[in-house]
Amino acid sequence: MIRLVIADDHPVVRAGLRALLDHEDGLTVVGEASTPDEAVALAERENPDVVLMDLQFGPAAGGTGTGAGASGTVATGADATRRIRALDAPPYVLVLTNYDTDGDILGAVEAGASGYLLKDAPPRELIAAVRAAASGESALAPAIAGRLLDRMRSPQVSLSRREIEVLSLVAAGRSNSEIAADLVVSETTVKSHLVHIFSKLDVGSRTAAVSVARDLGILRP
């Protein structure tokens, strides 16, 4: 029996996934989480085989784990994935999300996700991915796998997870000092990240960096 935890801040989505998965032979949902912190706690307490993880949790979901900063933003699914994969007996994490930018995909894979599917995937594809993840296999949707290959072929526009975090905050209108406070780093470190970002994207300003990153799919529009 493959034991599952569903982590998503939308009750309707969780209910739909539970109805689908609980009716499938060999699968059982042992818990639901509406925040990243709850997902980590359930992964530790219930010892599931797979955690189905959304990437973005709305502010209404609350949460005080990794990624919660002075701006009031909550932890992301990638943060929760990293924490889950650091447990003593970690379950596999299968990302199930609406977001498919390069930054989202790279961040999830770097955090330790075994698979990445979009929420419009057919039920059979989702169930097959769950079984693959539980067996320790990669479960990437074909389009997602293609995006990762494209990133590998274009290292000159590959930003690190931290650089994407910094640029995302720049896009949100945060100043260097505010970004430093959000990420709990020095302002000098933020400036250093921006220098590297400008160099990789071949731009000379914050506005241009955000524009190019969106054009490349590194940031969501």
Distance of alpha carbon 99 from alpha carbon 115, whole angstroms: 14
Cα–Cα nearest to 102, from 51, 60, 185, 163: 163
Is residue 26 over pLDDT 70? Answer: yes
Highest mean pLDDT among 22-36, 61-75, 105-119, 130-144: 22-36
Give pTM, 2 decimals: 0.66
DSSP secondary structure code for residue 157 in this structure: G
Any idea which residue has 């590998």 for tokens?
152
Q: Could you give the strand order of the β-sheet that contains 27-33, starting from the edge strand earlier in sequence? A: 27-33, 2-7, 50-53, 92-97, 115-118, 139-140
pLDDT of 178 reads 95
Helices then strands (H, E): number in the chain? 10, 6
Per residue in 182-197, pLDDT (tens digit) is: 999 999 999 999 999 9
Domain ranges of the chain: 2-152, 157-215
Least confident range of 29-33, 44-48, 158-162 = 158-162
Separation CA 146–CA 191 (nearest Å): 32
How does residue 146 score in pLDDT terms, banded at 50, 70 and 90?
low
pLDDT at 155 exceeding the cut of 60: no
The 10s digit of each residue's pLDDT in 83-128 is 999 999 999 999 999 887 767 887 888 889 988 998 988 999 999 9
Report the chain's C-alpha Rg in angstroms: 18
- Token couple for 72: 């009031």
Q: Strands of 2-161 (E only): list them.
A: 2-7, 27-33, 50-53, 92-97, 115-118, 139-140
Phi, psi of 2 (to 5 degrees): -90, 120
The residue-averaged pLDDT of 196-219 equals: 88
Q: Which fold has domain 157-215?
A: Arc Repressor Mutant, subunit A (1.10.10)
- Reply yes or no on whether the pLDDT at 72 is more than 60: no
First to last CA, the chain: 41
What is the mean pLDDT of the segment spanning 42-69? Answer: 74
DSSP 76-144: PHHHHHHHHHTSSSPPEEEEEES---HHHHHHHHHHT-SEEEETTS-HHHHHHHHHHHHTT--EE-HHH
Q: Which of 219, 220, 169, 172 is nearest to 194 (CA)?
A: 169
Interatomic CA distance for residues 125 and 82, integer angstroms: 24
Residue 71 CB neighbours (<10 A):
13
Asked: is 2-152 a CATH 3.40.50.2300 domain? The reply is yes
